[in-house]
Structures are given as C-alpha cells and as structure tokens.
Amino acid sequence: QLQFAESGGDLVQPGGSLRLSCAASGFTLDYYEIGWFRQAPGKEREGVSCISGSDGTTYYADSVKGRFTISRDNAKNTVYLQMNSLKPEDTAVYYCARRPNTGSYYLGRKMTCLTSQYYSWGQGTQVTVSS
C-alpha cells in the first residue's frame, strides 16, 4: 500500500556515513519531486533534501549542505540520500515523500522542500548518530 519504502537507517558514530534508499512504487520518479524529510523526537518534521524530477534541481537544508547528497536512479525507481559526516543532531526518523513536478528551476525560481508541500509519505527509517 505504501508508495515509498525507506531503508538504510542504522546506528552510526559521529562522523560516519549512511546511504538511505527510498524505493518508489506505483509511479515513476520523473513526474515528481521527491523529498527526504526527518523528524526527531519533540521536533517538527523538516525538509532535508529534495530533488526535482523535471530537471534534477536539488535543495539542501543549511544544516546538511555539504554533507548530504540526494540522487535518483530512475531505472530502479529509487531516490538515495548519501549522508556523510553525520552528527548527533542528524538523529531522526527519515522519510521520503513526493509532490508533482512544479516546473523548471533554470530561470532562477527557488526550490523549496517543505513538509506541507508533500504527500504519500513512507514509513520512515531510523537514523541514530551516537558515540
């Protein structure tokens, strides 16, 4: 029933790396923007990284910029989140979700990655960064 299946979460030490996978079913990635979101205990769900299906434009939250990389493999219908230099504050349940493509970002339109814009949430995968 779920349209996303997140996997790859684990317990890692600070500075470690993980690659999260978001396998989509029932639709193809090209027609949607896919986002990675996370929710830590006691905090609201926040956008981590999003990728456009139309032109590949990406968004990264300031807190993860330079450390995380979002990518997609359309042949596998999967979106990945490579997480490097992990910090304890990255600890959260990570979810992926989708929204319809909103058009080109080549003309300077800023990409956003807001929970209110997305739907069809997966079940989430737990990432714990602790020493």
**68-117 per-position pLDDT tens digit:** 999 999 999 999 999 999 999 999 999 999 999 888 888 888 899 999 99
pLDDT of 1 > 80? The answer is: no
pLDDT of 28 > 90? The answer is: no
Contact 122, 96 (CB under 8 A): yes
User: Which position has the token pair 């997966």?
Assistant: 122
Contact 111, 47 (CB under 8 A): no
State the DSSP code for 106. Answer: T
Instruction: Summarize pLDDT for 29-77 with one digit per residue, the tens.
Output: 889 999 999 999 999 999 999 999 888 899 999 999 999 999 999 999 9
- pLDDT confidence of residue 105: 87
pLDDT of 6 > 80? The answer is: yes
One-letter amino acid of 128: T
Average pLDDT over residues 9-28: 96
